[in-house]
Structure 1
Amino acid sequence: MEDGNRPTIMVTNDDGIDAPGLRALVQVLVSTDRYNVQVCAPDSEKSAVSHGITWLHPISAKQVLIDGATAFAVSGTPADCTSLGISKALFPTVADLVVSGINKGSNCGYHIVYSGTVAGAREAFFNDIPSISISLEWVNGKSNQTDFILAAQECIPIIEAVMLEIKNKSYVHRCFLNIDVPVNAAKHKGYKLTRQGRKMSSAMDMDVDTAAPKETDTSSIPPEHILFRREVRGAQLDPDDTDYKFLQEGYITVTPLAALSHADVDCHAYFKDWLPNVSPLPSTSAL
């Protein structure tokens, strides 16, 4: 049973409820002995599903054992998990904060659009609940499972600072936070406030840089039947205060995000002049 005197944090992710990143985050949160910890996460891998939701059929939830937490595995997307977790259908109280992660692989730049991890936090934001998404940059041959514990420990000061603002009713509700932790979490250079950049080094970093399952072997498939392969591009680094740039420099990046994606001001100015010149179709009565 939850302790009514403690604030509550709900954890979700997109790598699945058994993922080491989620388990490390829950372990570290529980070890602080300061929070009620809820877990509502996908029952299997749901990476790169973006903000997809289950619409045409019901989802199921099964309680699972995670020490120190009340946890459910859900047959849905990260957004589904957050929506269900804050609905009071599974837990008696609505969490004060939703934390999504820790993802295996960074979520910077355009990758934020693909990310189910970020969507788990964004869904809470849609419902006016403070939220944070956390991702760990992962490099094969260099990263290991203990890095998730280190990343979680390094993010605890941010989580605690947010919880204090929530307690004081001074937390800003116009955004949520996306955090990326560098490869060497224990030796990071500090916390850096950044903005979302345009980084797009590949369709998804996890396909290239992480130990995620390999792509299906296509050696036996006739070339004419292979219609599409993800193109791996060179990293596009913005020259200023963007997330990926400072992540590569060794900072833990903290990027405020919101639900709306506004076009650049010059785009709006262009279409303001362009739209009045679009000729409407003639009415059917004139035909």
Structure 2
Amino acid sequence: MDGRAAAISKPIVLITNDDGIDAPGLRFLVDVLVATDCYRVLVCAPASDQSGVSHSITWRHALSAKRVEIEGATAFAVSGTPADCASLGISGKLFDGVIPDLVISGINIGCNCGYHIIYSGTVAGAREAFLYGIPALAMSLNWMGGKSTVNDLKLAAEVCLPVINSVLTELKNKTYPEGSFLNIDVPTDVAHHKGFKITKQGKYMIRIGWEQTNINAPSMESYQTAHIDVDMTPGSEMNASVPVESHLLFKRVSSKIKIEEDEAEDTDHKALQEGYITITPLGALSHTEADAMPYFQDWLLHLADYSTSSL
């Protein structure tokens, strides 16, 4: 088999993220995969930081894709969100008909556990691939300011390599399940992790509040959600807002004290804090608590009683 044929036969891995194509987590992940010489590596990642945009997509204008030099990989920086990048990367339009075998989103600076999964652009990149039938992993490092270093991101890529190898082997053998994608969080002390642990999504969340400010500047890198108004078609009539003499500025602030957390032993954040590399299988459906359905079934039976307000 000549070199070109060997390259074509290698499994194809597409890398994206939400920290941007220049983020060290993405670059170390690419380096680790390229160094194995086992995979063909593609990169389609945001041109700028897209942290906290969740699963927002670009709808109203075209995206630009600019070729970027990353040794050992074919890479493009895209003027879109992580979900945009995953979607474009798996479409076959960007890489001349090539469809990846696996999509990996990360490695993110900061963990993505519990309710924070909802806000995460990193997880959204993997979820978007999963929605279109491409196996996917989201990877994050529980970065701690003042303690974590860039080298920890490199270590995180290295310790996650067995997971990537295993998933691609299972895919080759056609034994990998199709109903989930994986969210992987690496503990702060990467070098002394306690091993891998299968977990479930918990309810951990750092509450985000607001403070008034006089500075009109980006408030936080995380949790800047984007939205699409599908009803705003060209020529549609809207009531324009009326400017007033002054306006108020507010910035998002995170609480370091008020934290909601699920204390169950098998939840993602608890296991992560204990030093495990957590692997949380996720789906794309939002499930309510089991005991809520009977309540709402009964509530629906009496809905007609409220046709006239009696409040």
Deviation at 1:279, TM superposition (A): 1.5
Q: Indicate the residue corresponding to 1:108 in structure 2.
A: 113
Quote the offset at 1:116 in angstroms: 0.2
Change (3 A) 1:49 1:215: closer
Residues 144 and 169 of structure 1: CA distance in aligned 2, closer, same or farther (over 3 Å): same
Note if contact 2:46-2:82 (Cα within 8 Å) is conserved in structure 1.
yes
Is 1:119 the counterpart of 2:144? The answer is no
3-state SS, counterpart of residue 70 of structure 1: strand
Alignment of structure 1 residues 68-217 onto 2, 5 Å: 68-92=72-96, 93-203=98-208, 215=220
Letter in 1 for 2:66: K
Q: State the AA in 2 paired with 1:40.
A: C
Deviation at 1:214, TM superposition (A): 6.7
Which of 7, 15, 28 pairs up with 1:24?
28
Query: 2:265 matched to 1:265?
Result: no
CA 20–227 in structure 1, closer or farther in 2 if over 3 Å, else same: closer
**Post-superposition offset of 1:54:** 0.3
Letter aligned with residue 248 of structure 2: H
- Specify the alignment match of 1:274 in structure 2: 299
Greater strand share, structure number:
2
Closer, same or farther in 2 for the Cα pair 1:251/1:84, shift >3 Å?
same
1:208 corresponds to: none
Q: How far is the alpha carbon of 1:179 from its aligned partner?
A: 0.1
**How far off its partner does 1:237 sit?**
2.5
Question: What secondary structure is seen at the aligned counterpart in 2 of 1:255?
Answer: strand
Give the alignment's TM-score, normalised by structure 1.
Answer: 0.89
Aligned to 2:234: none
Conserved? CA contact 2:13–2:40, under 8 Å? yes
1:117-174 Cα distance to aligned partner (Å, 9 max, x none)? 0000000000111000000011111101111110000000001000011000111010
Counterparts in 2 of 1:37 and 1:132: CA distance versus 1, 3 Å? same
Distance 1:281 1:267, change over 3 A: closer
CA distance in 2: counterparts of 1:29 and 1:111, whole angstroms: 27
TM-score by length of 2: 0.82
CA contact (8 A) 2:219 2:252 kept: no
CA contact (8 A) 2:208 2:252 kept: no
Give the superposition deviation at 1:64.
0.4
Question: Displacement, 1:269?
Answer: 1.2
> Cα RMSD over matched residues?
2.1
Structure 1 runs not aligned, ≥5 long: 205-212, 217-223, 283-287
Tell me which stretches of 4 or more aligned residues in structure 1 moved more than 6 Å: none
Task: Please list every run of 5 or more consecutive structure 2 residues that lacks an aligned counterpart in the other structure.
Answer: 210-217, 222-246
In structure 2, the CA distance between the partners of 1:155 and 1:55, relative to structure 1 (3 Å rule), is same
Correspondence 1:234 to 2:258: yes
1:57 aligns with 2:55: no
Aligned residues: 268
CA contact (8 A) 2:104 2:138 kept: yes
